[in-house]
């Protein structure tokens, strides 16, 4: 049995163990707004690590909208949505979000959440509860985000759902699994853009399988909403697909620049989540001022400014793809603002991040369990607020660091 004193000792030992494996994580507090430059530990660093892909997190119109929202609605919602926390600002935002997906999901309705983590927990557990115990089969892409994995684990614990993993680059295996599956309810769950690799899920092919085997398809487009598609509506727009079996999740703390998330699906599914989605029901509503700010952010995303920002982002991605092809570092084939450089060991990743920090850059090392063992990496991300010169300078710095790291490793 573990008593409280032993628990404390165990925590100390396990933290020391993490440190010895170079896996201990550290918090760093910034003293500046989220933008392409960050004031950290008294130094100004060039940041290539946020998910603020469109550069909206510090946008004057959104700062003004937040102030305006606070004047109109105060700073807190005071209760969960079903008690008294649901405001007109939430309702307007949900209508706007649904209209972004209406060409891709018939009879679309959207439900707003305070975080993507909560949206994923609610959607997956809520859908699994549509079928009796042991009647659901959930297929999860191996590289799915932790919040999807945790949603699936919770759904499996609550409903004894069957869970199987699939490789999103080898859909034959998924096809074989679905072919023999006798569970009445099947749900395929995938990231739209894989968060640590930057590549896209084959959503068209997944939808075909969902149709063939009568499954639902849940797409978490946290890193696609705002940036993919001509109007920034996300991966469903980019891939030009439409189906009432799609459950779409978008997050609003990344390209949208604020915070929160939404589930968009055909209206009956959303009504079900309102009735039975426990993480939604039992959590205080996000301040309405945030919803008010997000409405402004959606106007920017869907308008000319959003378009210009996406064009700039795509220009930066192309510069990176052209200039980095000569690097010996392993890269992942990604056409998005997420461009990982795989360094392998934790030691290599930490050394490279440290050399970058010395050169004035903030790009933290990403290590297990966020990525697989032996695939520690830099997760480089671009923002529309970066200039072409910013990206070229980063590439020059990386090239010189690459030589230094290769020489160091070859001497060891």
Ligand X SMILES: Cc1ncc(COP(=O)(O)O)c(C=O)c1O
User: Quick one: 222 or 337, whose CB is closer to ligand X?
Assistant: 222
Rg of the chain over Cα atoms, rounded to whole angstroms, equals: 22
Contacting range for ligand X; rule: CB under 6 A; set: 41-49, 113-121, 286-294, 307-315: 113-121
101 binds ligand X (CB under 6 A): no
Distance in angstroms (rounded) separating the CA atoms of residues 246 and 265: 6
117 binds ligand X (CB under 6 A): yes
User: Quick one: 120 or 297, whose CB is closer to ligand X?
Assistant: 120
Which listed residue (50, 251, 293, 381) binds ligand X by CB under 6 A? Answer: 251
Distance in angstroms (rounded) separating the CA atoms of residues 347 and 131: 47
User: Quick one: 185 or 201, whose CB is closer to ligand X?
Assistant: 201
Distance in angstroms (rounded) separating the CA atoms of residues 203 and 197: 16
115 binds ligand X (CB under 6 A): yes
Distance in angstroms (rounded) separating the CA atoms of residues 206 and 217: 7
220 binds ligand X (CB under 6 A): yes
Q: Which residue is nearest to ligand X (CB)?
A: 116
Distance in angstroms (rounded) separating the CA atoms of residues 176 and 359: 50
Using DSSP, state whether 200 is helix, strand or coil: strand
Pick the closest to residue 288 from 14, 76, 15 (CA basis). 76
Cα dihedral 235, 236, 241, 246 in deg (nearest 10): 120
336 binds ligand X (CB under 6 A): no
Nearest approach, Cβ of 261 to ligand X (angstroms)?
Answer: 5
Nearest approach, Cβ of 122 to ligand X (angstroms)?
Answer: 12
Extended beta strands in 8-135, E state: 37-40, 43-47, 108-113
Token pair 């297929």 is at which residue? 139
Nearest approach, Cβ of 281 to ligand X (angstroms)?
Answer: 18
Contacting range for ligand X; rule: CB under 6 A; set: 85-93, 109-117, 239-247, 374-382: 109-117
Taken in order 283, 225, 340, 305, is the CA torsion positive or negative? negative
283 binds ligand X (CB under 6 A): no
- Please, are residues 215 and 246 in contact by the beta-carbon 8 Å criterion? no
253 binds ligand X (CB under 6 A): yes
Give the pair of three-digit tokens for residue 245: 């079996």
Contacting range for ligand X; rule: CB under 6 A; set: 91-99, 110-118, 152-160, 299-307: 110-118
- Please, are residues 251 and 116 in contact by the beta-carbon 8 Å criterion? yes
Count of residues making up the chain: 412
How many residues form the binding site for ligand X (CB under 6 A)? 13
Contacting range for ligand X; rule: CB under 6 A; set: 70-78, 115-123, 342-350, 399-407: 115-123
Site string for ligand X, 180-209 (x = CB under 6 A): -----------x---x--------------
116 binds ligand X (CB under 6 A): yes
109 binds ligand X (CB under 6 A): no
145 binds ligand X (CB under 6 A): yes
Nearest approach, Cβ of 51 to ligand X (angstroms)?
Answer: 7
Which listed residue (147, 286, 336, 348) binds ligand X by CB under 6 A? Answer: 147
Q: How many CB atoms lie within 10 A of CB 110?
A: 23
CB proximity list for 181: less than 8 A, separation 6 or greater:
137, 213
Site for ligand X, rule CB under 6 A: 115-117, 120, 145, 147, 191, 195, 220, 222, 251, 253, 261
């Amino acid at each position: 049995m573990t008593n409280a004193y032993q628990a404390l000792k165990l925590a100390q030992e396990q933290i020391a163990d993490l440190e010895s494996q170079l896996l201990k994580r550290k918090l760093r507090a910034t003293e500046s707004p989220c933008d392409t430059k960050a004031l950290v530990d008294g130094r100004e660093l060039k940041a290539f690590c946020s998910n603020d892909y469109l550069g909206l997190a510090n946008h004057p119109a959104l700062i003004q909208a937040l102030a305006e929202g606070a004047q109109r609605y105060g700073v807190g919602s005071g209760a969960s949505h079903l008690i008294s926390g649901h405001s007109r600002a939430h309702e307007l935002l949900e209508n706007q979000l649904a209209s972004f997906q209406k060409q891709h999901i018939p009879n679309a309705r959207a439900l707003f959440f305070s975080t993507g983590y909560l949206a994923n927990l609610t959607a997956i557990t809520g859908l699994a509860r549509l079928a009796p115990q042991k009647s659901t089969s959930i297929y999860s892409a191996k590289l799915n985000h932790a919040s999807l994995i945790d949603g699936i684990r919770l759904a499996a614990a609550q409903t004894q759902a069957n869970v199987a993993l699939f490789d999103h680059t080898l859909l034959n295996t998924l096809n074989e699994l679905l072919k023999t599956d006798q569970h009445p309810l099947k749900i395929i769950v995938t990231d739209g853009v894989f968060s640590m690799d930057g590549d896209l899920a084959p959503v068209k092919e997944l939808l075909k399988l969902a149709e063939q085997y009568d499954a639902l398809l849940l797409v978490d487009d946290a890193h696609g909403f705002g940036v993919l598609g001509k109007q920034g509506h996300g991966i469903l727009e980019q891939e030009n697909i439409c189906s009432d079996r799609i459950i779409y999740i978008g997050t609003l703390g990344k390209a949208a620049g604020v915070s929160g998330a939404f589930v968009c699906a055909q209206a009956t599914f959303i009504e079900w989540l309102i009735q039975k989605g426990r993480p939604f029901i039992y959590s205080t509503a996000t301040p309405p001022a945030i919803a008010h700010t997000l409405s402004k952010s959606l106007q920017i995303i869907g308008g000319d400014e959003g378009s210009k920002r996406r064009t700039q982002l795509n220009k930066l991605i192309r510069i990176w793809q052209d200039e980095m092809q000569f690097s010996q570092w392993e890269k992942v084939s990604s056409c998005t603002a997420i461009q990982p450089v795989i360094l392998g060991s934790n030691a290599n990743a930490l050394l490279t991040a440290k050399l970058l920090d010395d050169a004035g850059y903030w790009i933290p090392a990403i290590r297990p369990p966020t990525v697989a063992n032996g695939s520690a990496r830099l997760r480089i991300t671009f923002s529309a607020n970066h200039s072409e010169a910013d990206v070229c300078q980063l590439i020059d710095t990386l090239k010189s660091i690459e030589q230094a790291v290769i020489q160091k490793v070859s001497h060891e």
